[in-house]
Structure formats: C-alpha cells, structure tokens
Amino acid sequence: MPVLPAPPWTQFCDLPIHLFLSCGAPGRGWYSRHSMADDEVLREYRTGSDPRTLRDALGCFATGVTVVTCFDENGGPVGFTANSFTSVSLDPPLLLVNVHKHAACAAGLTNAQHFAVNVLQTGQQPASIRFSTRQEDRFGANDWSRGEFGAPVLQESLGVFECERYAVHDGGDHHILVGHVVKASFNPELDPLLYFRGRYRRLHFD
C-alpha cells in the first residue's frame, strides 16, 4: 500500500465498532443507499490534490492488522504494526509487507534472514497500538517466543507466517519486503482485528 507523510493509521478507536459485511445481491446493500454517484458523498483525489484525500481513499480498503517481527543485528527483537500485508503467490508460497524506509526497524527487517508476520485477533488491539507507537520496549508487555525459524512470534495471534527473506524491492518511500513462507499456523477459533478508515473494527457475523 503506498503511504503518504502523515499516514491514516494515526487515529485510534478503543471501542469495538462492528463492521457489517454484506453478502447480498448487488444493488441491495450499503452502496445502493450511499451511491458513489451521489455528489454530496463522492470525494475525489487527483495529482496535486490534498494528499489527505488520497489517504482517505486508501483507507476505504478494509484490512486485517499484523505485527511484523524479526531479530535485528544486535540480536534484539524488533517489530512494527502493518496492514500492508498481502499474499503474493502459492507456488512458491510468497507474501509481502511494505515497510516505511524511515521506520526504526526498517534496516533490521530488510537485513534479517527470517521474519514473522503475526496476524492479530480482536484481543490484540493493545499490541497493535504498542507496535505502532514510538517507545523503548515494544516486546516487554507482550508474550512472545522465538519461532521455529528464528523470528519472534507473538503468543495468542490469530495466525503466524514464519518467512525467509525472498526479496526486497524499492517501493517509493517504502521497502517492499517479500517473504518465502516456511511455516504458517493459525487458530481457527479466533476472530480478526480489522482496520478501516483509520479505526480498529471487528467482524460481525450474522
């Protein structure tokens, strides 16, 4: 996900807000009542416009939330909150995450042989906030262990992808970090923490 100077993830919502995902027929859901053709609702970004509008447009894409972790060159655990996580390929099994070049853990993550993508569940909103806020010890308050392939793994995560570094591409002000998945584990009984329009959300099942 391309990211601009003041990212949309600077707002937080401590209260769970249910995100209703409609699976109904086209024309019968939310979009028919709030049509994009409605001039009063439609907002638009073009080259040269206020970048906040582009941020808001990007924020329309609802995502899960992950914490990406590795050990840095001093052997200490480092990590940061990321929602730019995307699956890339099944054969070979590849995924990617975009890391801002100025992030404190950017060098650690792009140099590490292994890293882990911890997919967060609803109870891990505090971890998401901790791993996206500048502070000395992000790992202290979180239960974590060394994963089988040498990257820190957050306990109680919904899912964990342990990866070997596959490639690092240039992505403007971000590094595109591609990982080769060597192990994936998940807990089918947990629900995902979501992020939409700059706020944390939860999935609502009817």
Binding positions for ligand FMN, rule: CB under 6 A: 7, 9, 65, 80-84, 98-100, 103-105, 128, 132, 134, 174, 195
Output the smallest distance, CB 105 to ligand FMN, in A: 5
Output the smallest distance, CB 107 to ligand FMN, in A: 11
- Closer residue to ligand FMN, CB minimum distance, 42 or 104: 104
| Other beta carbons within 10 Å of 178 | 18
Give phi and psi for 8, each to the nearest 5: -70, -10
CA pair distance 34, 42, nearest whole angstrom: 9
Output the smallest distance, CB 132 to ligand FMN, in A: 3
Output the smallest distance, CB 37 to ligand FMN, in A: 30
- Closer residue to ligand FMN, CB minimum distance, 99 or 153: 99
- Closer residue to ligand FMN, CB minimum distance, 24 or 130: 130
- Closer residue to ligand FMN, CB minimum distance, 21 or 104: 104
CA torsion sign for 44, 50, 51, 53 is negative
CA pair distance 128, 145, nearest whole angstrom: 17
